[in-house]
Chains A and B, each alone.
Chain A
C-alpha cells in the first residue's frame, strides 16, 4: 500500500539558515503520527512545508500519489490537507459560525464533516456561536481551529501544539475529541509535548532534533528509553 503522505529528503530554510534538513517521512491513510521535540527544532517548519506555507528548498513531497512540493497552499487545502497552527490563528473578525461555514467544503456522503457534526463534537462552541473569534478563550479558540479544519473535509490533519497553554481540564477535552476524530479514520500528524496522552492515540512517533528526525518508531519504544526522552524532549 502506498503512503498517503510521502516525504523524502525535505529541506527548508529561512534565508541562509537551514531549519529543516533531509527529513523523510511516510504516513499511511488512517495513520496517526506524533511529532515531538524541543522548541525550535523544526516541527512547525515541517508542518508549514507540507501545507505549502514554507517553500520546499529541496526534496520530494507527495500527497495521495500527487507531487505537491510545487503546489500552492490553497491547492494543498483542496487536495485534502488541513492545518491547525500553533497560534490557532482563527479569524478574529468573523464569528464562530462564520469561521466554520466559510471553510465548508463537501466530503464523502454519509461521512462528511458538517456544521452540525462539528457542533456535536464541540458543544461549547455551540454556546458561543455568534461571538466574535476574538472573544473566545484559548481552549475555545483551539476547538474552533480544529472544527474549522474539519469543515474542509480533509484526508489529513496537521495539528501544531494541540494543547499548548491550555488548562488541564480543557486539554483533556481536546484530547478526547482528538481521539474521537482519529477514530473516524482520519490521518493526522499531531505536535505536542504531552507524550503520555499522545501515545494513547498515535501509532508512530517521530522526534525532531536540530532540523532532522532523530528518532522514529513506536511510542512505547520512545517512552521506554529514558535517555532518549531526556536528550530530545527534556521531560
Chain B
C-alpha cells in the first residue's frame, strides 16, 4: 500500500467519521438527556439524503439543500416529540423501540411511495466538483473536504454550546437530575422538544451532505443507525466527546475494514459492539453531555 493510498483512506475514514458523528451526536443526546432509544435515527438520515435529491432536482441548487434539511429536520423532530415521544413519558424501552420501528416503516414506505425503489444520484455543486491531484493516479475530491469542513464546524459549534452556554448547562443539568432541574425552574418539556428537534436535524443534515458522496437509495440509513449505536456504546451514553472518539474509531474500522475484509465489514461492526458490551456490560463511561 502506497503512502498516498494510505493517506486517501485515512482522509476517507475521517470524512466518514464526521458524518457518523453528526448522526451519533443527535442519538446520544436523545439517549443521555431523555433516555429515549430511537431506532428511527437511520431513517432520518435517509430522509436527509432524499431531501437533497428532491431539492436539487426541483431547484437545481445544492446550497438550498442545507437550510431545507435543517428546517425540515427541526420540524420533524419537534412534531415527533410533541405528538409521540411526550406521550411515552414513563414508558419502558419496549414502547420506544416499537414506536421508532413504526416510524421506520412509515418513513421507508413513504420514501418508496414518493421516490420509488431506484437509487438516485445527487450532483456535486460545481464549485466543489474539482479534485486535488495527489499523485499521477490518485486525486482527492474537493467535496469530501467540504464534508469534513461542515463536520468540524459542527463539532466546534456543538462543543461550545454544550460547554459554555447556559443552554448547554441546562441540558447537562436536565440529563443528570431531571427533578432538580425542574425545581430550579428549567422547563424540561421544552428542553426535550429542543433536544429532539436538534438531534433529528443533525441526522437529517448528515444525510443531506452525504447524498452527493454516493447514491441515494432505500434503506441507506440502516448501516449508519447500527454504526452510530456502536459509536455511543464505545463513547458512553450522552457523551459528545466520547461519540467523537467512537466515530473516529469506527471510521477507521469502516474504511480499512472494507479494504482488507470486504466481505466481513458489517460483521466487524457488530462484533465490536458485542465485544465492548462483554467487557463492559453497562457500556463504557457513563458521563453526560460533555
Contact = CB atoms under 8 A, between A and B. Distances in A.
- Are both chains from one complex? yes
A22 interface: no
Interface in B175-207: 175-177, 179-188
Interface in B137-196: 166, 169-170, 172-173, 175-177, 179-188
A105 interface: yes
Contact of A102 (B170, B182, B289): B170
B288 A93 contact: yes
Contacts of B177: 89, 91
Contacts of A73: 179, 182-183
B131 interface: no
A184 B26 CA distance: 45
Contacts of A89: 177, 180
Interface stretch (A59-67, A77-85, A161-169, A202-210): A77-85
A135 interface: no
A92 B187 CA distance: 20
Given A89-B177, A91-B176, A93-B287, A148 B184 contact: yes
Contacts of B117: none
B194 to A, nearest CB: 14
A102 B15 CA distance: 35
Contacts of B180: 85, 89, 91
Interface string A78-115: 10001101000101111000100111010000000000
A89 B179 CA distance: 10
B133 to A, nearest CB: 48
A102 B169 contact: yes
A74 B176 contact: no
Contacts of B170: 102
A91 B186 CA distance: 13
A51 interface: yes
Given A53-B179, A91-B180, A101 B186 contact: no
Interface residues of A, number: 23
A78 B176 contact: no
B183 A83 contact: yes
B166 to A, nearest CB: 6
Nearest to A92: B176
A148 to B, nearest CB: 7
Contact of B166 (A83, A92, A102): A102
A52 B170 CA distance: 20
A101 B169 contact: yes
Contacts of B172: 91, 93-94
A103 B184 contact: yes
Contact of A74 (B166, B185, B287): B185
B19 to A, nearest CB: 28
B188 A74 contact: yes
Nearest to A53: B179
B187 A74 contact: yes
Contacts of A51: 183
B173 A94 contact: yes
A94 B185 contact: no
Contacts of A105: 185
A101 B289 CA distance: 17
Contacts of A83: 183
Interface in B252-290: 287-290
Given A74-B188, A102-B173, A93 B289 contact: yes
Interface in A9-33: none
Contacts of B176: 91-94
A53 B182 CA distance: 9
A92 B179 CA distance: 14
Q: Report which residue of A74, A101, A152 has the largest number of chain B beta carbons within 10 angstroms of its beta carbon.
A: A74
8 contacts: A77-B185, A85-B183, A92-B176, A93-B173, A93-B175, A93-B288, A101-B169, A105-B185
Interface of A: 51-53, 72-74, 77-78, 82-83, 85, 89, 91-94, 98, 101-103, 105, 148, 152
Given A74-B185, A74-B187, A78-B185, 17 more contacts: A73-B182, A77-B182, A77-B183, A85-B180, A89-B177, A91-B172, A91-B173, A91-B177, A91-B180, A91-B181, A93-B175, A94-B169, A94-B172, A94-B173, A101-B169, A148-B184, A152-B184
